[in-house]
């Protein structure tokens, strides 16, 4: 396999940081005379991916720099230290894996009960100022636990760390959201926009977000799917199941735009785990 070229890699990293898409940069590099194999390998390195074969269209093996479950043997389940988790759906780009049986019914109910007293109008981090604000794009109510705040949170967080092979310490504390009738979360990206002035302050606590796990604690009777509009994919909110997705860089070409569709009947509760590049402090 060709090696990544340091000069090309430096240029790619600079352009990616300025917001150019990998597709356009590959085209420019080819037009400038770089060999196709060198471009492919170097772009993959810049995106934090690792190619395993030279065949055009060969599968991309995800290396240790992104959260990723162990699915190499087309596993239908993943064993974590305390629970066997089912693999329900797998998508390559965006990288999305839907898991069943991540939490027991009792764990879902207990987490809701622990969150209940602290549920208030949802806050999202304001990436213009780095502070909290009420966000009209999210009409749910929410609260955050600290990482390891109680034995249930710690058990679930250690299970998730094993599930996607990402350090426990790199996880933010669990967030619990309650969506009442009509509530929704309009499509957004979970990474922090590098162009916003408040982002450096947020990144100081552990770098970028590189992955998300949304666990369904209570299923509404109708509506409330987690949607991925770029690829027309929807995940039904089934109690105890979860959707995981990862993003190698903070850019829409990761196709990780996602939202919570309006709840049309009943009530929906989720717990979200965000995964950072480094230890979250
Ligand atoms: O509750 C959801 O389906 C949902 C959708 C989009 C949750 C989040 N984003 C999130 O917590 O980031
Ligand atoms: Zn989200």
Quick: pLDDT tens for 86-106.
999 999 999 999 999 999 999
Q: Ligand 1 atom closest to Cα of 175? A: 11
Residue nearest to atom 6 of ligand 1 (CA): 259
Would residue 181 count as lying in a domain?
A: yes
**Which of 55-64, 115-124, 244-253 shows the lowest mean pLDDT across its residues?**
55-64
Phi and psi torsions of 78, nearest 5°: -125, 130
**Which of 20-24, 55-59, 83-87, 188-192 shows the lowest mean pLDDT across its residues?**
55-59
What is the whole-number distance in angstroms between the Cα of residue 26 and the centre of ligand 1? 32
Domain holding 239: CATH number?
2.60.120.620
Tell which wins on pLDDT, 58 or 251: 251
Same domain, 242 and 157: yes
Q: What's the mean pLDDT in 221-231?
A: 98
pLDDT at 13: 80
Same domain, 98 and 12: no
Same domain, 93 and 18: no
pLDDT at 127: 59
Q: Torsion angle of alpha carbons 91, 127, 118, 80, nearest 10°? A: 30
Cβ-based burial of 78 (10 A; exposed 0-12, middle 13-18, buried ≥19): buried
pLDDT at 188: 97
Same domain, 112 and 184: yes
Would residue 216 count as lying in a domain?
A: yes
Q: Each residue of 156-182: pLDDT tens digit?
A: 999 999 999 999 999 999 999 999 999
Q: What's the mean pLDDT in 190-206?
A: 95
Q: Each residue of 126-153: pLDDT tens digit?
A: 555 555 444 456 677 899 999 999 999 9
Would residue 146 count as lying in a domain?
A: yes
Tell which wins on pLDDT, 210 or 4: 210
Supply the range of the domain harboring residue 31: 6-54
Tell which wins on pLDDT, 18 or 224: 224
Q: Which residues 6+ apart lie within 8 Å of 236 measured at CB?
A: 219, 225
Q: What's the mean pLDDT in 245-249?
A: 97
> CA separation (Å) from 251 to 47, 195, 229?
11, 11, 15
Would residue 1 count as lying in a domain?
A: no
Same domain, 43 and 87: no
Same domain, 38 and 175: no
pLDDT at 168: 98
Q: Which residues 6+ apart lie within 8 Å of 247 measured at CB?
A: 94, 95, 189, 190, 191, 209, 210, 211, 254, 256
Probe target for ligand 1 pocket from 261, 262, 270, with the most ligand atoms within 8 Å of CB? 270
Same domain, 45 and 152: no
Same domain, 123 and 250: yes
Probe target for ligand 1 pocket from 141, 178, 185, 227, with the most ligand atoms within 8 Å of CB? 185
pLDDT at 110: 98
H or E stretch including 6? helix 6-17
Beta strands in the chain (DSSP E): 50-51, 60-61, 77-80, 83-91, 95-100, 120-121, 123-125, 132-134, 141-144, 175-179, 185-188, 209-218, 222-223, 226-228, 233-235, 242-246, 258-260, 263-265, 268-276
Counting the structural domains of the chain, the total is: 2
What is the whole-number distance in angstroms between the Cα of residue 15 and the centre of ligand 1? 30
Same domain, 174 and 49: no
């Amino acid at each position: 396999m060709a090696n990544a070229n340091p000069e090309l890699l430096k240029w790619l990293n600079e352009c990616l940081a300025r917001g150019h898409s990998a597709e356009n940069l590959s085209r420019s590099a080819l037009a400038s005379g770089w060999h196709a194999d060198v471009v492919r390998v170097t772009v993959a390195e810049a995106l934090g991916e690792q190619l395993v074969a030279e065949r055009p269209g060969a599968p991309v093996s995800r290396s240790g720099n992104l959260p990723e479950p162990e699915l190499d043997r087309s596993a239908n389940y993943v064993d974590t230290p305390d629970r066997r988790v089912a693999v329900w759906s797998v998508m390559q780009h965006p990288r999305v894996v839907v898991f069943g049986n991540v939490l027991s019914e009792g764990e879902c109910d207990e987490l809701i009960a622990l969150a209940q007293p602290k549920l208030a109008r949802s806050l999202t981090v304001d990436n213009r100022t780095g502070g909290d604000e009420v966000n009209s794009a999210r009409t749910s109510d929410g609260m955050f636990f600290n990482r390891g705040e109680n034995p249930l949170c710690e058990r679930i967080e250690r299970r998730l760390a094993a599930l996607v092979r990402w350090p426990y310490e790199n996880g933010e504390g669990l967030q619990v959201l309650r969506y009442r009738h009509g509530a929704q979360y309009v499509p957004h990206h979970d990474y922090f926009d590098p162009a916003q002035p408040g982002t450096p302050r947020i990144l100081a606590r552990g770098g970028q977000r590189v992955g998300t796990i949304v666990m369904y604690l209570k299923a509404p009777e109708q509506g409330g799917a987690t949607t991925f509009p770029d690829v027309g994919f929807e995940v039904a909110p089934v109690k105890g199941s979860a959707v995981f997705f990862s993003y190698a860089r903070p850019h829409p070409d990761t196709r990780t735009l996602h939202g919570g569709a309006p709840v049309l009947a009943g009530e929906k509760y989720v717990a979200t785990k965000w995964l950072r590049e480094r230890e979250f402090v």
